[in-house]
Amino acid sequence: MQLQNKRWMWYLLPSQITSQGLSTVIPLYVIFLGGDIGEVAIISALQNGSIAIGSLTWGKIIDRFHSKRPILVTSFFFVLLCSLGMYFTNSIYVLYGLATVLGFFMVAKSPVTQLLVMESVQKNLWSWLFAKTSIISTLGMLVAMIIGTVGSFYFDLRPYFLICAVSSGISLVLSISVRDSDSIHIERSSIAHSLHGIRYSISHHHFVFPKILEVYDFRHIITLFKGRISNEIGIFYLASFFFYSGSNMYLTAWTPFLKNQNFSNADVFLNYTIQMIAMLLVFFIAPKIISKLGEERSTILAHIPRILAVMIPAVSLFFMVGTLGFPITMTSACMMVIAFSIYSTSSSVIFFKSIPQGFEGKYLGVNSAITGIGVFVGSFVTGELTKFLGYATMFLSASAVLVVSLVLYKIYFRYRLSNNMIT
């Protein structure tokens, strides 16, 4: 068996510069063009919806044609075009369309990357290579924020789209090193059989749909609304929905909130820069924390800093004046990423252990669908809630949603340990 050359993974650095850069600059640009939290929420919802559809579409294309390099080249080319389109437009409505197209093509690299990891090394080294690609991706995100922080002192937002276009072009060139081998074809369903693959997917918000889902596949969560439990995994799905919905309410509102508090563009980029540094540092200590506390306790405890992080801007709204605003918001932002780093790892282990043998693809697909719906709902609700009731109410509502997630996880663990599962 001939393995992939690992040089391919360097496309992750410039591609993450583009992805993280665009995810930060688009909300800022919407506000620059006269939009507010409502328009930012619409773009976020449209992009998240297209990402979910794109994950399903590109995954099926990979399974059908086993082609990776053409998909990467297509993905980076369209991301480049969307970046240029955003540079030249002054219309928020055009941004709606470009952001939707961007989400669809930008996600194409995710399933390709997951398969390349598994095709590049032996199975016993998957964990090591997934960890390495995660570090490279996070470094790319950090570089994007540093460029934005420094660049904001010298130019306005529009040239940043050109930087994203250039970095996407570099990704395109580097992706040419990817080889479409005839001697090895790993199906995407293999991701569902690998704890490392599931962990990578969950921690990077990648949706994985190894099969086309049917209504019957959602039976475990549907029965909950009928007042009975067919399998405790339905409670896990519901807890995951509330976790991602509440979290994305915060994440969607964060940039508009900072601008509402009169943060400069450089301040916003610096906020995300420090957040990326915290994420990179906690990456190395999260496994040790989980190993010491256990997956169940870690998942529960990870909710606490997440809930507090969302409550901080709500209860501190009237204290964010002068020099106090930046340390308050930084505390909130860092607590968010620290909590998620622990949660994503511990919950992925728990989910992997809960999947019945032979149903891995189906369960992973349902979990991805529920996560996608939660992210979409969180984005959509944020705009309307904030416009009518303000940021404080929105953040408090998001924290309440996360509390619901916490309660559901506690019910899930208690029910699973009681051995009362009905199959």
The pLDDT score that the predictor gives to residue 179 is 77
SS3 label, residue 210:
coil
pLDDT, averaged across the chain: 85
**Positions of the chain with pLDDT under 50:** 1, 420-423
Distances in Å between the alpha carbon of 381 and those of 26, 39, 256, 290, 334? 19, 12, 15, 32, 24
402/203 Cα distance (integer angstroms): 18
177/335 Cα distance (integer angstroms): 38
Token duo for residue 391:
């940021």
Token duo for residue 232:
């405790």
The pLDDT score that the predictor gives to residue 422 is 40
Contact (Cβ atoms closer than 8 angstroms) between residue 400 and residue 311? no
The pLDDT tens digits of the residues spanning 383-398 come to: 989 989 999 999 999 9
Q: Taking Cα atoms as reference points, which of 256, 287, 356 lies closest to residue 24? A: 256
Largest pairwise CA distance in the chain: 63
Give 418's contacts (C-beta < 8 A, 6+ positions apart): none
Domains and CATH numbers, the chain: 6-417 (1.20.1250.20)
Q: Report the predicted TM-score, pTM, of the whole model to 2 decimal places.
A: 0.88
The pLDDT score that the predictor gives to residue 423 is 39
What value does the CA radius of gyration of the chain take, rounded to a whole number of Å?
21
The pLDDT score that the predictor gives to residue 340 is 87
The pLDDT score that the predictor gives to residue 1 is 43
106/80 Cα distance (integer angstroms): 10
Token duo for residue 118:
């598994």
34/37 Cα distance (integer angstroms): 10
The pLDDT score that the predictor gives to residue 210 is 62
The pLDDT score that the predictor gives to residue 212 is 67
SS3 label, residue 175:
helix
Buried b / exposed e over 63-101, threshold 16 CB at 10 Å, is beeeebeebbbbbbbbbbbbbbbbbebeebeebeebbbb
The pLDDT score that the predictor gives to residue 165 is 96
Give 128's contacts (C-beta < 8 A, 6+ positions apart): 121
Q: Taking Cα atoms as reference points, which of 247, 80, 91 lies closest to residue 170? A: 80
SS3 label, residue 79:
helix
Residue 38 backbone phi and psi in degrees, to 5? -65, -45
The pLDDT score that the predictor gives to residue 166 is 96
192/226 Cα distance (integer angstroms): 29
Distances in Å between the alpha carbon of 181 and those of 67, 121, 126, 177, 259? 9, 14, 19, 12, 48
The pLDDT score that the predictor gives to residue 239 is 93
Backbone φ/ψ region at 390: left (φ over 0), alpha (ψ -120 to 50), beta: left
86/158 Cα distance (integer angstroms): 8
